[in-house]
Chain A
């Protein structure tokens, strides 16, 4: 049997239609449970201010915002957000786009949010599909130019930097990451350093990159976001160790990342497993490598680029182990879900027998 069929089904979920639209603005914070409802009264690059029905207005730093719902927003936006969170990016993009068409005299905040959501989703898709890079960059640049004072501003810079990096445009990437580093929050600054170090790595400046990663690793993390950046830096360090063929050290470091990073930190976890898989593969531990890559396929498939990478390796490894059926399965998945990724292209270039 593939899956116990009643999993989640007996969750006593009724078949009632989805809840009606919100009757007020609402902000959900990363650092606290529950949402704050009221009227959003201010929206800047660094914070949102919300005035609850009773009590004083609350200013929420942009880096602590998990999600925002706007008064009068269409219910479909919730579905789109759900799809995006679940990694169903194409469907999410489609729903966001449709929702944008149904907005009836939206406030500027809602309008900008939907626009950013569309750009963000396109960017996520583009990170695993090079053909979408220009489109994503264009959308994010358009958002940036119109919404420089929006709470999504720095998040937009992070994505832009990543997109430019994927497009192999280091200058523009560097500009975006430098802007990111100007954010008033430590985790964003750490992220900026990490991205910069990665660019150094791409440019084969290993020592400089290692120093940059070490500087982040040496920083004290006061919250999960900052800890996540520390882990990112450790991942970068592991990459350097791998490139130096210090596989054992790299594996230990990666195990450390896997154990210390939040299990819900999909990006860090996904990369840690992919890198772990690389090391194990290089050590000739094919089965262990498969297990590492499978973590991404099973648990962190929302990290599209890394998912595509793990599928590529899985296809080759299954084939190597004589599991032709499984190799075909992962190959098909890679080609269907990431037809334009560099990994799918690499696979197409590989001899059929090697690729399953």
Chain B
């Protein structure tokens, strides 16, 4: 679906006309991310991050597929094969650093994309399905990133696998058999490494599939925009190409500069030195933490230190960690306010920034050792996290008086000039 004033694909080249009648793939692309997709004219740079996330996924798939040509998923040789990539394979060091840091960049971009959604309430009707699919993509990303981190079979890989699969053992009755089924053994071993490699290769393509659904769902109502006012007329939109291909291109340039700075000047900045030690099942590293992008959730996991009612602390921690993401699925129905954009919601805006700070605090505690004061800070921050979604958001959205919205996107951009923005109030010819 699109707006009635969308440009129509009219190929002039006979070959493209021939193609269009048989397999209208160019038409599909033209309507999806070309001149045939009308987009609100007022998008700011926060709207770059969807395209950037797609770019990061392609980057990961390309570097990942070539790394898989040199990597060996066997517990005896996996670590050595990664060192072989680093030392012997032509450009292997660059490809591996590009892949490892590409994961970090992917998460930076996706977190920005998610928080853009929080601020502008992009999850509200009629865009709930886009949001739900986005949360599914995020969960798939987390699984993919975790399994990828296991592949080098260093100390952090091994103990990461042990701790994360250990989460499942918290489930009553079926926990331990489930963990053994996931690992194919009693502890992470060759069986686990092999299946993680298989799934790490598969899941990015599953993500690609869900992204197609995500973009499909997006094209039904069209893109949201910083005012949160829906498109009303042709003057509210511009074609995606060339306007937003250019704007996204600029954002992509900035992205690539940051990415290259990481890959070429600080490739191990976000990694852990312990992962350059081969996996040793008999010795746990003194300080095990996941990669930075899991820290907020890891802090929530560790925040539960004593049993609550009849639920053991361990199970509570696991439930809370998963709930921290699952609560996003309910967001469209927790925030019931009629206004979308945080720009027009003064009270909501304050709590949005509080949530940003809260997640940063959780992230910091998740990377810190499991000791005081970090445990207590995590407990407070984790409590606030759930309060935000389950209590604050429903209350704020029901008591808040939003500021007046502009009549249209055009008015928000050009001001209240009826002659410039709308047809004259009275017909010129009677």
Q: Do A and B come from one complex?
A: no
Residues of B whose CB lies within 8 Å of any CB of A are none
Residues of A whose CB lies within 8 Å of any CB of B are none
